[in-house]
Amino acid sequence: MRRGLPSADVAHALQIGSDAEVWRLRRQRMIDGQPAVVETSIIPVALAPELDRLVNRLGGSLYDLLARECGLEDEYEEQYLEVVMPAQQERRLLSIPPRTQVVRIRGLSMDKSGTPFDCFEQLYPATEFAFAISGSTSRHLFPTPGFQDWDV
């Protein structure tokens, strides 16, 4: 976990200024002791000012913690799914060989008032997972899949 300034694209998606600090939380998820998913969440510090201290209590869902401690409840999400080549650090975290593709899901979570509070990215080895997608509304608040600068 680290604190920093969002890229212009992340600031735009979160509807914050480029000088507004954000938390970047990266987690490696395991299945049967093997690396399975790399998750990154970018959350405005203004919405979760003590997240660095609260994350020590993160034994389960980040969203449960955000709802319980910060009042940030996930009411709506938009996501894009792409198959991409991961960066070297991501390959290492997933324990996959070079030239192995991953499924990258980038998303934006909003609360009941429509305030975006989490830009997230999840990486899965492409041959290890199957995905089902359904939905009933489309707001198109999130940038297009070609959106690349997802950094802090």
Share of the chain above pLDDT 70, in %: 88
CA distances from 132 to 1, 22, 41 (A): 30, 31, 22
* pLDDT at residue 94 greater than cutoff 60: yes
Secondary element (H or E) of residue 89: helix 88-94
Instruction: Select the more confidently predicted residue: 136 or 114.
Output: 114
Measured CA to CA, the distance from residue 14 to residue 8 in angstroms comes to: 10
Q: Say if residues 33 and 43 touch (Cβ distance below 8 Å).
A: no
For residue 130, name the pLDDT band (cuts at 50, 70, 90): confident
* pLDDT at residue 143 greater than cutoff 60: no
Q: Say if residues 36 and 124 touch (Cβ distance below 8 Å).
A: yes
**In 1-152, beta strands by DSSP E:** 2-4, 22-31, 34-44, 76-84, 102-110, 116-125
| pTM given for the model | 0.84
- Report pLDDT for 148: 63
- Report pLDDT for 150: 67
